[in-house]
Amino acid sequence: VRFVVKILTKKMKNLLSHLSNLKNILLTYLDGFILIISPLMILLFIVGVIALMDRTGNHQSFLRKMDQGLVTTATVSSLLHSDDSDELNIAVNFIDLLQQERFGLIKTMYYPTEIVNSIKPGDIVNIRYLEPGYESQVILNDYYANVRNYFGFAYDVIVVMVVAWGFIIIHPEFLFWGFSEEKGVKSKAGIRQ
Amino acid sequence: MTLNAFVLFMLGALLEIVWLWDDAHGQVGEWIQIRFLPGAFRLAQWIQGGLVVAAGLLAGIFSVFQVSKTQVSMDNPLIGMIFVAMGLFIFGAGVVADGLLPRINEQSILIVQLLVILNGVLSGALSNVWGLFFVLIFPAALALYLVWNRRPLSPLLKALIYLWYLASLLVLTFQNGSAEFFTAARLSLSDAYFSGIAFIFILLHGLFSIRFFLIVSSLILPRNRLLVAGMMPRLFADDQVPVRRFVLFGLGVLGLILLNVWLNLLPRTIMLNLAVIACVQFFFKPRP
C-alpha cells in the first residue's frame, strides 16, 4: 500500500508540475497576444470615441430639429418588423400642416416595451413630426422625454471601448511610444506581473 | 463661409501647424538667405512668409474672378478631403508621434483655469452644482495649490494635472461654442483666420486627450506608473510660477477679455481661444 501511495504521489506531483508549466506557457502566449493587439485596441478606442461623438451629435441634432417639430394625431397603419434585426418600427399616416397626407415611421427603440406592445394597427397616437423635406421619422409626442433621454445609440460602442480599454491597461507600452525621454526604462507591464 | 474666408481659415490653420512644429522642435534650423531679400531667416520663417504670400495671391485671384463670395462648406468633397487630410496629419504628427504638442508649465495651466472660471461667469455656467464644481471650485483649488506649492510635482501628479488641463481646454471649447463657430456660414475674414488657428490647437489637444486619458487610466495598475515618469518631462516643465508677475499678467489678460466683451471688438469665442493659444504657445513657454 505504501508503495502504491508513493507512486501515486510522485505521479500527482509530476502532473501538477506539467499543469503549472502549461499554465505558464498559456499565459506567455496570451500576454504576447495582448501586447501585439494593444496598438489595434488603442486605435479601436480612439475610433470608438469619435463614433460616440458622432452618434451623440446626430442624436442632439435630431432632438434640436424635433424641438421645432409640429404635433398632430396619426393613425397607426402597420407594425413593421425589420428583416435583419429584432427592431420593430410603427408606420403611421397623418395629415400635415399643408393638409397633405404623409407617411411617418416611429422607431420603437426609444420607448419601453409595454408602451410599444400596447400600440395596435388602427390606434390614434399623438406624434411630433418635421416639416416636409426632412426624414419621415416621427416620434410619440406623449413620450418625448424618453427620446430626449435615450442613450441606446452608445451601448455597443461603449462595450467595444471598455473591452479595448481593458486590453490597453494590461499592455499600455504603445501609449508612451514617441514621448518617453528616459531611455532604458524597462516595462514591467503584462498579465503575469 | 465664403471662399476668401476659407483661404484665411486655411492660412491660420497652416500657420498654427508651422508654429507648433517649430516650437516642438526647439526653434532650430539653418539660417537661409535669399538674394534680393533682406536678412536671413530660418526655414520655418520662410514657410510662414510663403504661406501669407500664397494666401494673399489666392484671395486676390478669387476676388479678380469674382468668386470670393462663393459659399463653401464641409459638404463639398474637395473641402471635406482637405479637412480629412488635415485631421489625419494632426493625428499622425501630433498624437501618434511627438511632432506638434506644445510643452506647458504651471503658468499655462493656471491661465487656462482662470479663463475657464471667467468664461463660466460670463456664460452663466455657474448656475448649477456641476458647473460650480467643474468650472469654479476645482479650477480655483488647483490654481491655489499650484501657486502655494513651490516644489516640483511628482510625475503621477503631473499626469493627473495635465489630464485636467486637457479636460479644461475641452470644457472651454464646448462652453464657448467653438465647434458651432467654426462651421458658421457667415464668418468675417479676421474671424476665419483666428478660427483656423484655434481649430488646429483644439483638434490637436482634443485628439491627444483621448490618448492621455488612456495613459492616466492605465496608471490604475502600479506597475505602469514607471512608464509615465519618462513621458511627463516632455509634456510638463517644472518651472515654478513667479507669483507677482503672473498675477499682473493674469489680470492683464482678464482685463483684455472683459474690455473686449465691453467694446465687442472680437467674438468672445475667438478672444478666449486666442488668449489660451497666446499664453500656452508664446507668453508662458517653458524654458528649454
Q: Which tens digits make up the pLDDT trace of A33-78? A: 999 999 999 999 999 999 998 899 889 888 888 888 888 999 998 8
Q: For residue A193, give the nearest of B97, B223, B234 by CB distance.
A: B223
d(CA B15, CA B21): 10
Which residues fall within 8 angstroms of residue A156, CB to CB, at 6 or more apart?
none
Please, what sign has the CA dihedral across residues B118, B123, B127, B128? negative
Average pLDDT over residues B137-159: 82
**B235 at interface of A, judged by CB pairs closer than 8 A:** yes
Which of A54, A180, A191, A193 to substitute to test the interface with B, most B CBs within 10 Å?
Answer: A180
Q: Give me the residue from B217, B223, B234 closest to A179, CB to CB.
A: B234
Residues B150, B152, B153, B155: what is their CA dihedral angle, to the nearest 10 degrees?
180
Question: Under an 8 A CB cutoff, do A42 and B227 touch?
Answer: no
Q: What is the pLDDT of residue A163?
A: 95
- State yes or no: pLDDT of A190 exceeds 70: no
Whether A183 shows a pLDDT value over 50: the answer reads: no
Round to whole Å and give the CA distance between A9 and A11. Answer: 5
Reported as type and span, the H/E element at residue A114 is helix A113-118
In the numeric block, which cell numbers belong to residue B131?
Answer: 458647473
What is d(CA A41, CA B271) in angstroms, rounded to the nearest whole number?
Answer: 38
* Chain B residues with CB-CB distance to A169 below 8 A: 217-218, 220-221, 224
Nearest chain A residue to B92, by CA: A178
Give the one of B96, B98, B218 whose C-beta lies nearest to A168's C-beta: B218
The model's confidence at residue A156, banded by pLDDT at 50, 70 and 90, is very high
pLDDT at B185: 67
CA distance B227 to chain A (A): 7
Tell me how far apart the alpha carbons of residues B186 and A163 are, in angstroms, rounded to a whole number: 43
Contact call for B217 and A169, based on CB within 8 A: yes
More confident residue, B190 or B130: B190
What value does the mean pLDDT take over residues A113-138? 84
d(CA A182, CA B42): 30
Strands B31-33 and B40-42: antiparallel
Which pLDDT belongs to residue B213? 93
Cβ pair B227:A172 closer than 8 A? yes
User: What band does A191 get if pLDDT is binned at 50, 70 and 90?
Assistant: low
B192 vs B206: CA distance, rounded Å: 20
CA distance B197 to B108: 18
Q: Which pLDDT value is given to residue A161?
A: 95
Task: Indicate the range of A123-132, A179-188, B179-188 predicted with least confidence.
Answer: A179-188
Task: Among B221, B230, B233, select the one facing A176 at the smallest CB separation.
Answer: B230
Cell 455657474 maps to which residue? B126
Inter-residue contact B78 to B188 (CB < 8 Å) = no
Whether A84 has a pLDDT exceeding 70, the answer reads no
Question: Which of A169, A188, A193 minimises the CB distance to B218?
Answer: A169
* Shortest alpha-carbon distance between residue A134 and chain B (Å): 17
The answer, yes or no, to whether residue B184 has pLDDT greater than 80, is no
In this predicted structure, the answer to whether residue B23 has a pLDDT above a threshold of 70 is yes
B231: nearest CA partner in chain A? A180
Contacts of A85 (CB under 8 A, 6+ apart): none
CB distance from A46 to chain B under 8 Å?
yes
Contacts 24+ apart (CB under 8 A), B154-161: B155/B225, B155/B228, B155/B229, B155/B231, B155/B232, B156/B219, B156/B225, B156/B228, B158/B232, B158/B235, B158/B236, B159/B212, B159/B215, B159/B216, B159/B219, B159/B228, B159/B231, B159/B232, B160/B216, B161/B109, B161/B236
Average pLDDT score over residue span A72-97: 83
Which chain A residue's Cα is nearest to B97? A178
Cβ–Cβ under 8 Å, residues B79 and B13: no
Tell me, yes or no, if A189 comes closer than 8 A to chain B by beta carbon: yes
Instruction: Check residue A184 and give its pLDDT.
Output: 44
When pLDDT is averaged across residues B216-236 and rounded to a whole number, the result is: 87
Q: Torsion angle of alpha carbons A64, A68, A72, A76, nearest 10°?
A: -30
A181–chain B Cβ distance below 8 A for any pair: yes
**What per-residue confidence (pLDDT) applies to B96?**
87
pLDDT higher than 90, residue B123: no
Q: How far does the CA of residue A22 sit from the closest CA of chain B (Å)?
A: 25
